[in-house]
Structure 1
């Protein structure tokens, strides 16, 4: 709109320059031919005819220029400006409504919990009880290592602990009969406790041969095979050569997929709005779309807003949780997030196309009961999906939307429709193409 008005201003300037040049040219012609005006009284039909025949092409060119200039003037300055003719417009009536303040961002799907299964000891894989992509529960047995040595050691220490306990019980009986001293009883008690502790340590060592899932989730690709030698504290690595495939580190990764999280960043200027809404005790709502947004929208709530701003990007990290019952979302996917931060109470919303922008600022055309247009300067607070929340007007004002390019202050108008429709509030269901802009911050 500003480009059109700038072009009109340049055209008016050029027409003014053309007018000045024309006046100068006419003055020079007047000075040149004014001495001959005294002879006009003596001009007869034959003289006029000779003059017209002599300058017929110049006269024809002047008439064409005058006609073209008249048409150009009528085009850029319609009859409404000159003669008060009505301009056909479409208008809306402004109403007060609660407008949701929506912040859009892009983020990444992340797992609520993810665990790399690694061995605690160096041993050989005896059995693999999990398959690629299998759903597992917390406590399910995934792998069994070679437990023969650890089991024998446990049984040995368990037998010694049982024997030490029996000796302690006999020592108690002998102390009661004064056959041994209390020091001997204390020594027997210490031996029994030490043997029991050694047996429990052997039991823990034996439990390392049975690797279980710590969480509910889905298993990834199993990186080991029966007979593979696994080692403790290795980095995840799987290598394949022309002769063999070897795997160390994570034996498998368990990922919790339901519920699942989405992590995104919010600009620093929007942080006060987020924190104010959190103080009210109401959880922030989000709507997430992944891939083809026409298929499904996932709704969830914000879990946490990070406690510090990343100065490199001037944004704060936010994590939200969404249900994933169909298991269609996977960690690492690109996501589009719409966060309903708060509501603008009793806001005045108009279609964005009703806002006129020029070098002096933004304004709208209001129409009185007689259809007379007036320009009113406004300030845009929030804009979303083709609607703008503005200040500077009152509820109930009639705003010109279509046809405003032909309006000037004081222009008369007529409604293109039988009645004006009220302004619709911005849709609460965001689309990925929409862009949030806010001057309120």
Structure 2
């Protein structure tokens, strides 16, 4: 190896060594600057009596380096005043709207559906003409029955005239009794035939009337099943159209058997029980009606009993098979101590509220709750009217916590 090559390699090694030393010095300076204090100043911020090298004590309030007195800061909360007044005992349930009456309109005779006199969804009254079946075959049957009746009536009149002559001859001893009795029997036979003929005429006339299909009840029509021109049969289960009576209308719902005695107590005394219906969000009142009937047995599978309420439904807000939220007003407590439901908390020892004192500190107060009405609950024991309870911001509260009341 030449002298120049050795000199170049030696210079390269010195450059690499210098770079390593500079990197080490830079890393040491970075670590020293990240500690937040220069080396040897560990005791500068120590409290009296605190060992050198230990971490500074946390500020009051539990947060490291926080400002003093953080724990003494007031917790913002919303409060409500305990009230005294009437509260209703309301039972809630999920109900189904059912038509007061539902009828499937069917034909009573066979034939061609000649004409339809209604439109889908139309409101009809009982007796309105809905459809017409071809009446000609039934008119023919009526004419035949009337002809047979006239024929037999003529024979009856003739037999009666003969009977009068036979009776006269018998009184003159010119006719045997056997012939007289035979004529009397013939008259009775024709009288029986007359009754049969009248029944046949009535039946034929009734069949002819059945070719006109009328509405059996008042209500709203559904969608028709059969179109004009089709042959329909009296034995068809499909029917022509369905009529539902929606004014008035019913709602069927279930209550637990434990709530049944309170309902029966007033229902059996003839006192009206008001029922309110709300939409699925329980925000809009749909209708107000009255409890009309209670089922005669409890469902052993669910432990509930079915009830039915009736509503006028003048504005037709309620629709068959609609789901609604039911609120049954059972009774009213006139002078109850009432708090908002959001103020009531639940713990291992039961229900409690946070009472706010005059110095804006809170106390955990156990309570006994009673009737619940919407967002209000009656308190049987634990608080009195006029006291303040926390309704919002309870997560950070403990006994003795200072609070700051936020006005709503």
**Secondary structure, counterpart of 1:408 in structure 2:** coil
Q: How does 1:138-287 map to 2 (within 5 A)?
A: 138-169=126-157, 171-172=159-160, 174-177=162-165, 178=167, 181=181, 182-235=184-237, 249-287=238-276
- Partners of 1:352 and 1:128 lie apart in 2 by 58
* Distance in 1 (alpha carbons) for counterparts of 2:362 and 2:156: 106
Q: CA deviation at 1:261?
A: 2.1
Q: CA deviation at 1:138?
A: 0.9
Tell me, in whole angstroms, the C-alpha distance in 2 between the residues paired with 1:309 and 1:289. Answer: 26
TM-score by length of 2: 0.70
Structure 1: give runs of 5+ residues left out of the alignment: 1-52, 81-86, 236-248, 418-441
1:91, 1:415 within 8 Å by CA — same for their partners in 2? no
Partner residue in 1 for 2:119: 131
Alpha carbons of structure 1 residues 266 and 65: separation in structure 2 relative to 1, 3 Å: farther
Aligned CA distance change for structure 1 residues 66 and 383 (closer, same or farther; 3 Å): farther
8 A Cα contact 2:90 2:372, kept in partner:
no
Distance 1:120 1:377, change over 3 A: same
Which of the numbers 112, 118, 124 marks the counterpart of 2:106?
118
Distance 1:336 1:75, change over 3 A: farther
User: Does 1:358 find its partner at 2:347?
Assistant: yes
* Larger helix share, 1 or 2: 1
Question: 1:87-143: per-residue Cα shift (whole Å, max 9, x none)?
Answer: 999563442x33112222222222111111122233221222222222221112212
Q: Secondary structure at the match of 2:114?
A: strand
Deviations 1:237-289 (A, max 9, x none): xxxxxxxxxxxx21111222222222222233322222223123123222223
Aligned partners of 2:344 and 2:284: how far apart in 1?
A: 34
Q: 1:12-411, aligned counterparts within 5 Å? A: 56=43, 59=46, 67-68=57-58, 70-72=60-62, 78=72, 90=79, 92-95=81-84, 97-169=85-157, 171-172=159-160, 174-177=162-165, 178=167, 181=181, 182-235=184-237, 249-290=238-279, 297-364=286-353, 376-393=365-382, 395-396=384-385, 398-401=387-390, 406=397, 408=399
Deviations 1:185-227 (A, max 9, x none): 3222111111112222222322332211100112222222332
SS at match of 2:137: helix
- Match of 2:229, SS state, is coil
Moved more, 316-325 or 209-218: 316-325
SS at match of 1:310: coil
- Give the secondary structure class of the aligned counterpart of 1:154: helix
Alignment RMSD (CA, Å): 3.9
Of 284-293 and 264-273, more deviation after overlay is shown by 284-293
2:295 aligned counterpart, secondary structure: strand
Structure-2 separation of matches of 1:94 and 1:130: 59
- Three-state SS of the structure 2 residue aligned to 1:308 is coil
Cα offset for 1:400? 3.3
TM-score, normalisation: structure 1: 0.65
Change (3 A) 1:416 1:277: same
User: 8 Å contact 1:290–1:333 — kept in the other structure?
Assistant: no
Separation of aligned partners in 2, 1:372 and 1:158: 101
Q: Judging changes above 3 Å, is the alpha-carbon distance between structure 1 residues 173 and 222 closer, same or farther for their aligned structure 2 residues?
A: same
In 2, the alpha carbon distance for the partners of 1:226 and 1:256 equals: 25
State how many pairs are aligned.
346
Q: In 2, distance between residues paired with 1:167 and 1:105? A: 73
